[in-house]
Every structure is written in structure tokens, then in C-alpha cells.
Amino acid sequence: MGRLRHRIAPALRFLRKGGVHVALGLGFAGLGLPALAVELPFSPDCTRVTTIDVAPPHTGIVFRKNPNSVSTRAATATVHRIDGVKMITLAPNVVSCFHPVEESDKYCFMSSTDPGAFAAVNAVPDTNRMHLFLCQ
């Protein structure tokens, strides 16, 4: 009996760990995680534009300064919405903000108060479930 328990115990530990991993995986799959982020590279003349597709159930775009550092948090970033002709500002001391929009458009990251702080802004079609500040 001792030998059998010695052989079964590692298998049971493996199954318990595997069961936890499966449960975690299914839990994350059920969250409806947002689409993958697109990167808006720095382009002061807006020659490098990126199309961001926003479709239901998404109600806007989460913009995020990248990387998240002291210098990027202190800087202001401005994203230009091309077809909607709108300037979207990520204010100082804000890492992420939400821009409500329900259609696809082209965007470019065109200015920053500290261009050396970061070379891109990330954008993800999403809903504002994290209750982020609205972009200015």
C-alpha cells in the first residue's frame, strides 16, 4: 500500500495543479478581454497613421502612454483623429484614458511635451469598464 500511495501522490498533485490552471484559463477566457493593442508611433507630421477598428461591444478606445515611467506620466501626449478631425489629449499625470467613439477611424500620435520620453502610444478598442478618466 505504501508503494501505491508513493506513486499516486505525485499524480494527484499534478492533477490538482492542472485543474487550477484549467480553471484559471477558463476564468480568463470568460472575461471577454479586449482586443490586442495597436501602437501609434510618434509622427509629428501624421505620415504614420494607424486604423483602429471600433465595433460593438466596444464603445471607444483606451489610449496608454508607453512605457509607463515617471517621464511619460509627466508628459502630455496628443493623438490626432484623422477623419473625425479631433485632437485627443492624454494629460500629464495620467497614464491611460478612455476616448468614447463608436466607429473606426485613423489615428496618429503627433505631439508630446517631452518627445524623448516615449516613442509611441498604445490604443485598444474597449469599453470603459475600468472607469478611466476621459481623454481631453
Handedness of CA 116, 131, 53, 105 (dihedral sign): negative
Same domain, 58 and 17: no
**71/1 Cα distance (integer angstroms):** 64
The CA dihedral of 53, 59, 65, 68, to the nearest 10 degrees, is -120
Tell me the residue range of the domain where 9 lies.
Answer: 1-33
pTM of the model: 0.73
Q: Are 29 and 86 in the same domain?
A: no
* Together in a domain, 14 and 29: yes
What does each of the 136 residues of the chain score in pLDDT, given as a tens digit?
555 555 555 554 544 555 444 333 333 333 444 457 999 999 999 999 999 999 999 999 999 999 999 999 999 999 999 998 899 999 999 999 999 998 999 999 999 999 889 889 999 999 999 999 999 9
Q: Are residues 18 and 66 in the same domain?
A: no
